[in-house]
Amino acid sequence: MKKKLVAAIMATAMVATMLTGCSSSGEQSTSKADVPTEPFGDTIKYDPSVEINNGEDISVELWEWGSDELFQQVIDGYTAIHPNVSIKLVNNPWEDYWTKLPLALDGENGPALFNVHNSYHENMINYMAPLDIPLEDLEADFTGVAAHVIDDKVYYIDYGMMTGSVYYNKEMWKEAGLTDDDIPKTWDEMREVAKKLTIKDGDKLIQAGLNFNDSFHQNYLLGLNYQLGETLFEEDGKTPKLNSDAMKQTMQMLIDMYKVDGVGSENFGEKDSDSFGQGQSAMVIQWGHYYNTLKTTWSNIDFGVFEIPTFDGNPYAYNRYNGESTFGVNKNAPEDQQAVAQDFVKYFLANDEAQIAFNLAMSTFPAKKSLADNEEILANPSLSVLSEHIDRYIWPGPMPSTMETSLKTAGQEIFFNGVDIDKALDDAQANAIRDMQSSTFVSVENLYEHAE
């Protein structure tokens, strides 16, 4: 009896092993079938048949600060084509990344590839090698390349463009008797809708129609100036214009929304993004990344997205955008590693699948022109609302952080300390000028396609 039992267990184990083996080999054959053998891409073509490092084994590192799985997918796709290449993904949290990376790049053993954020442009650019791809090819395939040209060379470009849109709570919208026809196109309409969405118990605010706490400087002041035809920098590209008439008009509108319309309060919800997620505010303006934040952190919120309103329906530009950057190549890395890094960047740029995956993960509108009407991209409402006017968004360049922090301080002085608009914005202007006196930043607003 005992022997029979052992035999039965062994037979079962053998069958299970065989099935597992079949399944495993099946998966392998599928993934092998996915490995491209023919050249792919638009103008920038990637030819998988070209050997890397003469087919000899080589290892490089890729440093990044998040979204490991996303990076790993691209690495896996690349190493499937080039099994002799090993790319080690190294994650450093954002806070550590920007102090560790320059130190690593300064030495001989720094990563050959690293993720770039344009807010650290000044600190990174001296460590980067120019991309080994013709400028005209980059410009043919991607928008916004001209803004990244330095002495006829390009060190990184944007794979996607992120900007602000209005996120609204559909349930609150319905309860207020609003329909899709009520989606506002102008700021006046927006203020009326916000009033309808506001709920009060006497003087006490229960539900804010619109909340901009902690984001007014990033999502309103540094962007709506373009709607009014005003740039953020003087013609020299270096002097900020934080006390411009457009800035004052925008600030006055924000004050009126809270103090006159009463659709929100500086004391109601510390952060607009949290307040919306917690179901306390009906509308917020947030940048693309918020779409995924809502999906993951506040998945119970039924929300919709619409394009940012304008003052008169015919703006100079709709808003400011910022690019999500491609990888940087370490100019201090050994030549063979740099060659792999250059090839990897080319693979990434030519690979539509990777471009779509990165843009969906970051909720950025693809900079790759051929993907502007891609079905997967347009299925994401935070991206589809941008598609009609995507050419009417401006990137001012990698602005120093003082542009944001100085305006944040000014806004707090106005809302909490009762300082008047002119004084607060004059102080912000003076502060930004002092902070930027040694900056090498030059605005690229003049490269805007519809610049007047």
Minimum distance of another protein from residue 93's CB (angstroms): 15
Which of 31, 123, 297, 446 is the binder for another protein (CB under 8 A)?
123
Residue 98 sits in the site that holds another protein (CB under 8 A) = yes
DSSP bridge pairs for 304: 168
User: Phi, psi (5° rounding) for residue 445?
Assistant: -60, -30
> How far apart are CB 374 and another protein at their closest, in Å?
37
Cβ at position 435, least distance to another protein in Å: 6
Q: Supply the minimum distance, in Å, between the C-beta of residue 278 and another protein.
A: 9
* Binding-site string for another protein from residue 409 to residue 428, where x marks contact by CB under 8 A and - marks none: x--xx-xxx-x---------
Which residue number, 174 or 416, has a Cβ lying nearer to another protein? Answer: 416
Site stretch for another protein (CB under 8 A), options 56-64, 96-104, 321-329, 359-367: 96-104
What is the separation of C-alpha 429 from the centre of its chain, rounded to a whole number of angstroms? Answer: 27
Considering CB under 8 A, how many residues would be counted as binding another protein?
Answer: 28
The interface with another protein within residues 275-304 (CB under 8 A) comprises 280
Q: Which is nearer to another protein, 248 or 271 (CB)?
A: 271
Grouping H, G, I as helix, E, B as strand and the rest as coil, residue 80 is: helix
Give the 3-state secondary structure percentages of the chain, helix then strand then coil, rounded to 5. Answer: 50, 15, 35
Q: Give the shortest CB-215-to-another protein separation in angstroms.
A: 14
Q: Which stretch binds another protein (CB under 8 A): 64-72, 95-103, 152-160, 243-251?
A: 95-103
Structure tokens at 304: 């919709």
**173 sits in which H/E element:** helix 170-175
> 373 by DSSP, 3-state: which?
coil
Candidates 405, 426, 433, 447; binder of another protein (CB under 8 A) is 405
CA distances for 367 relative to 127, 222, 377, angstroms: 24, 21, 12
Instruction: Select the span of 321-329, 374-382, 383-391, 406-414 touching another protein (CB under 8 A).
Output: 406-414
| 97: Cβ contacts below 8 Å, ≥ 6 apart | 63, 64, 65
The CB-of-64 to another protein minimum distance in angstroms stands at 18
Q: Retrieve residue 144's tokens.
A: 């916004």
Contact 140, 88 (CB under 8 A): no
Go through 278-301 and write b for each residue having 16 or more CB atoms within 10 A of its CB, e for each that does not: eebbbbbbbbbbbbebbeeebeeb
Per-residue DSSP letters for 275-302? HHHTTSBSEEEEETHHHHHHHHTSTT--
Instruction: Rule CB under 8 A: say whether 240 interacts with another protein.
Output: no
**Shortest reach from residue 269's CB to another protein, in Å:** 7
Given the rule CB under 8 A, which of 115-123, 327-335, 339-347, 369-377 is the region that contacts another protein? 115-123
Task: Check residue 267 for interaction with another protein (CB under 8 A).
Answer: yes
CB of 183 to another protein, least distance (A): 28
Interface pick for another protein out of 27, 51, 76, 122 (rule CB under 8 A)? 122
CB of 396 to another protein, least distance (A): 18
Cα separation of 14 and 56, whole Å?
A: 39
Distance CA 319, CA 219 (A): 9
Q: Does 378 bind another protein (CB under 8 A)?
A: no
Instruction: Report in angstroms how near the CB of residue 419 gets to another protein at its nearest.
Output: 7
Between 43 and 409, name the residue whose CB sits nearer to another protein: 409
Taking CB under 8 A as the criterion, the residue among 402, 403, 425, 445 binding another protein is 402
List Cα–Cα distances, 185 to 125, 161, 281, 320, in angstroms.
Answer: 40, 22, 20, 18
SS (H, E, C) 238-250: CCECCCCHHHHHH
Question: In this structure, what token pair is assigned to residue 239?
Answer: 């002097």
Q: Does 94 bind another protein (CB under 8 A)?
A: no
Q: Give helix then strand counts, H and E, for the chain.
A: 18, 14
Token output for 165: 């849109």
Stretch that binds another protein, among 62-70, 145-153, 227-235, 396-404 (CB under 8 A): 396-404
Tell me the sheet residues that pair with 142: 368
Phi, then psi, of 14 in degrees rounded to 5? -65, -45
- Comparing CA positions, the residue from 449, 339, 359 lying closest to residue 395 is 449
Which of 56-64, 122-130, 154-162, 324-332 is the region at the interface with another protein (rule: CB under 8 A)?
A: 122-130
Q: Which of 47, 261, 352, 435 binds another protein (CB under 8 A)?
A: 435
Neighbouring CB atoms inside 10 A of 452's CB total 5
Q: Does 173 bind another protein (CB under 8 A)?
A: no
187-216: contacts with another protein (CB under 8 A): 204
Positions in the binding site for another protein (CB under 8 A)? 98-99, 102, 120, 122-123, 126, 204, 266-270, 280, 400-402, 405, 409, 412-413, 415-417, 419, 434-435, 438
